[in-house]
Amino acid sequence: MLEYHPHMPEVLDAPDPIYRRLRDEAPVYWVESYDAWALSRFADQWEVTQDNEHLTAREGTTPHYFGPRAIPALPNLNHMDPPAQQALRSALLPFFLPRRVRSIEAELRSVVRSCIDAFLERGQADAVREIGQIVASRLASIAIGFPPGDSVYIVDLVKRFLSREPGKDGITSTGVAAFEEMQRYLASVARARREHHGEVENPLDVLLRAEVEGEKLDDEVIGQHLILLLVGATETFPKAFASAVHRLWQHPDQRRELAALIGVLPEAVDRAREGLWKGLR
């Protein structure tokens, strides 16, 4: 009999076999403890996200918003419905396009080189802690508008927010406390940035000037939007990067090929990202 819960030990340890069975046997699976349906096929997930007539994102979109230690689904881009969500997303979009990335490439390259220099003589490194997290936190500062001096604190804050305890489902009490701390910190970041009256330089400036349904956003609401950007910036890249490094370790012939042909690295990055998405499908 097929059984699924997002925090089952089997799912956390090796999810692929269970995901395969879900897709084949129960693509729409009722998770009783969450009073929710789990969709395992990418096409179905994509379709329901487009159905704004019958479904809403306002009550939360991840398991963090369910269970005994649930956090509130406060306003942010993930918890908005069109057309307000589309309008705000369009205002933020220019800061996540290739042109913007190219404008900060030199600075990011310098960050990566400093990471490599720190472990080069040792000859080995933790791909997540010593490269991925450092690059991601600096990227968050450069691209989104977080104070550069807060990079180490930001990584620790997100780590505590996403911490897990063996045998306990969902977000931990440490995670709830970190979430509340994150709210206060990001509201203070927004408050401090209000002193800037020059050109729009980053997504934080966009949020400070934005209106949603005819109203300006206060510091607390801006902080909610920044949570999404902060967690996305500091968590997504380290995981994707570490996964790519692991794959290259599994396939040393491809690693040697990339080392010899640096020019194909951009395509390799795209392929690695596609591989991660296919794993979700």
Structural domain that includes position 156: 67-237
pLDDT at 25: 96
180 and 261 in a single domain? The answer is: no
The reply to whether 72 and 206 lie within a common domain is yes
State if pTM tops 0.95: no
Are 111 and 138 part of one and the same domain? yes
How far apart CA 16 and CA 143 sit, in angstroms, is 34
Q: Is residue 242 part of a domain?
A: no
Identify whether residues 203 and 176 lie together within a single domain: yes
The angle, 0 to 180 degrees and rounded to 10, between the axes of the packed helices 265-280 and 219-250 is 100
Predicted local distance difference test score (pLDDT) of residue 93: 93
What is the spatial distance between Cα 76 and Cα 222, in angstroms, rounded to a whole number?
A: 8
Q: The tokens 């080069």 sit on which residue?
A: 120
Reported confidence tier of residue 279, pLDDT bands at 50, 70, 90: very low
CA distance 228 to 64: 13
Q: Per-residue pLDDT for 112 more than 60?
A: yes
pLDDT digits (tens, 9 = 90+) for 40-62: 999 999 998 888 888 887 777 66
Query: Which CATH number does the domain housing residue 187 bear?
Result: 1.10.630.10
Please, which pLDDT band fits residue 68 given cuts at 50, 70 and 90? Answer: low
Query: Who wins on pLDDT, 219 or 9?
Result: 219
The tens digit of pLDDT for each residue in 115-166 reads: 999 999 999 999 888 999 899 888 888 888 899 889 889 989 988 998 888 7
